Amino acid sequence: MKKISYLLLFLVVCMAYQAKSQENNTNTNMENTDSIFAVITNLGENVNTPYDDYAPVVSADGYMMIFTSRRPTLKEDIDMKMQGMENIYVSYYDDITWKWSRPQLLENTVNQNNKNNSAIALSNDGQRLLLYRGDPDGNIYESVLEGENWSEPVKLPKPINSKKHESSASIAPDGRTIYFVSNRRGGEGGSDIWVCHQGVSGWGNAENLGSVINTSENEEGVFIHPDGKTLFFSSKGHDSKGGYDIFKSVYENNRWSKPVSLGDSVNTSGDDLFYGLTADGKTGYYSSVRPGGAGMKDIFEVYFKNKNKKSAPKLTLLKGLVIDNDSFDPIGADIEISDNEENEVIAVIKSNSATGKYLVSLPAGKNYGIAIKKKGYLFFSENYDIPASAVYKEIYKTIPLQKFVVGNKIALKNVFYDQGKATLRPESLTELNQLVKLMNVNTDIRIEIASHTDSQGSSETNMSLSKSRSQSVADYLFAAGISKDQILVKGYGESKPIASNDTDEGRQLNRRTEITILNQ
């Protein structure tokens, strides 16, 4: 009896251990494979038709979708229920109804008559559209949203376009890097993914992403995520299930990781193409032929129901409005994003002139300076120091620009000093140079440079420190050629707080340097 009991106990322990091992394996797979959580949904008749609907490109916040459709637009095609030429449509997401609006055909400037016009890329803020036109050799064009209207598309220059076929593309968060697909020579075979960077003097050479990404088969439908380092693309290589499958690779330590399939819940035995993912990493969109569709190619949503936080994108999405401080009217302004540590402008975008809307993707791992500028207004600055480990965050901010008139003031939020000292830190140079430009353009104005402290330390020490800090800024301007007659240096110590000195956040706000227009 004892032997039988021990044997039964041994079997129970073995079964429990095996069950636990299976559970651990399942959990490991669930953590490392996002597609296990993917819920695939057809976008329905509001977006899809019995005809081909494909190539969705979505703004980083997921509220604007532009896509390509071959639904008929000409009467004869409609009457015969025949597919039409490729045309580009736009739809907007309503977070009250949780539905996409009925698509609207973009204007004739974008949809050229008697040509195939296909959307292939959308900038994060939804204001730059790359499209494919069926030229004899196939080329990439760009259109810009100016207020409420899209501009006439302009063919992108060499080395992006070539005498070969360029079919799809994606715009990186800096707006100056474009990934694209081409079958030009120098690749791994077939259509490959290439990248091109825009510098001060124009576009640099096109670079092939190499054999880690590209195969002897065709690659297509490239998309760079708003985090600036995660690449999605379709390929007939990399052991695809059949046709094009969607893969993911991450750029780290100066190299691309081995591409990983998005898995069986996303990929089918047919062609799965043009995948894009929202900034928060929760919702993707792509085109496929799957059961339950409206017919032919449809657009599908991929929702990651239980997204693992460890794999969530590391970036901050900054969005909002730029408005006039007095009238509250929307303003179309230039928004410069700088790397403060490198003292380098890394991106320039614009707020929309009709709505004032803007959106900026800030990948983690940099100290960013943001400068918003418009002729006739004082510039507005913000600072976002985002550590490499920072999780996804979305910030909504309305930015009121003040007219360039006597009495108006701005805080220099990207001017930094050594702790307890008046020494300017190197990260301040970009903002200080903005101030130099302002003074050079307006040589007849006079400004006050005023610094403030929190209440820590004695009043006498704080007053002396604040005046010394203002003098440091003034000395930088003098060294840049600004007349001493244009500058009044003041220090107010702790006497003019704008927040409570009882919290770290309040004290940080109180430690500031401001400029005020004294006369014009």
Pairwise CA distance, residues 492 & 454, whole Å: 10
Q: In sequence order, what DSSP letters do the residues of 408-467 get, joined into one string?
A: -EEE-TT--B-TTS-PBPGGGHHHHHHHHHHHHH-TT-EEEEEEE--SSS-HHHHHHHHH
Rounded distance between C-alpha atoms, residue 395 and residue 315, angstroms: 11
- Between vectors from CA 104 to CA 60 and to CA 55, what angle results, nearest 5°? 50
pLDDT of the chain along its 520 residues, tens only?
434 444 444 444 444 444 433 333 333 233 334 444 789 999 999 999 999 999 999 999 999 999 999 998 888 888 888 888 999 999 999 999 999 999 999 999 999 888 899 999 999 999 999 999 988 888 999 999 999 999 999 999 999 999 999 999 999 999 999 999 999 999 999 999 999 999 888 999 999 999 999 999 999 999 999 999 999 999 999 988 889 999 999 999 999 999 999 998 899 999 999 999 999 999 999 999 988 777 789 999 999 876 666 678 999 999 999 999 999 999 999 999 999 999 999 999 999 999 999 999 999 999 999 999 999 999 999 999 999 999 999 999 999 999 999 999 999 999 999 989 999 999 999 999 999 999 998 888 999 999 999 999 999 999 999 999 999 999 999 999 999 999 999 999 999 999 999 999 999 999 999 999 998 6
**According to the CATH classification, is domain 54-280 in 2.120.10.30?**
yes
pTM: 0.88
The DSSP bridge pattern shows strands 315-324 and 393-401 to be: parallel
Fold of 314-403: Immunoglobulin-like (2.60.40)
Question: Residue 98's CB: how many other CB atoms inside 10 A?
Answer: 7
Matching CATH number, 406-520, of 3.30.497.10, 3.30.1330.60, 3.40.50.2300, 3.40.640.10 = 3.30.1330.60
Residue 204's φ and ψ, nearest 5 degrees, are -80, -175
Helix (H, G, I), strand (E, B) or coil at 507: helix
Q: Which long-range contacts (CB under 8 A, 24 or more apart) does 388-391 make?
A: 388/314, 388/364, 389/314, 389/364, 390/314, 390/316, 390/364, 391/309, 391/312, 391/314
Pairwise CA distance, residues 479 & 485, whole Å: 14
Condensed to tens digits (0 to 9), the pLDDT of residues 306-360 reads 666 667 899 999 999 999 999 999 999 999 999 999 999 999 999 999 999 999 9
CA 353 to chain centre: 20
Host H or E run for residue 116: none
Q: How many CA atoms are closer than 13 Å to the CA of 331, on its beta-carbon side?
A: 25
Rounded Cα distance, 14 and 3, in Å: 16
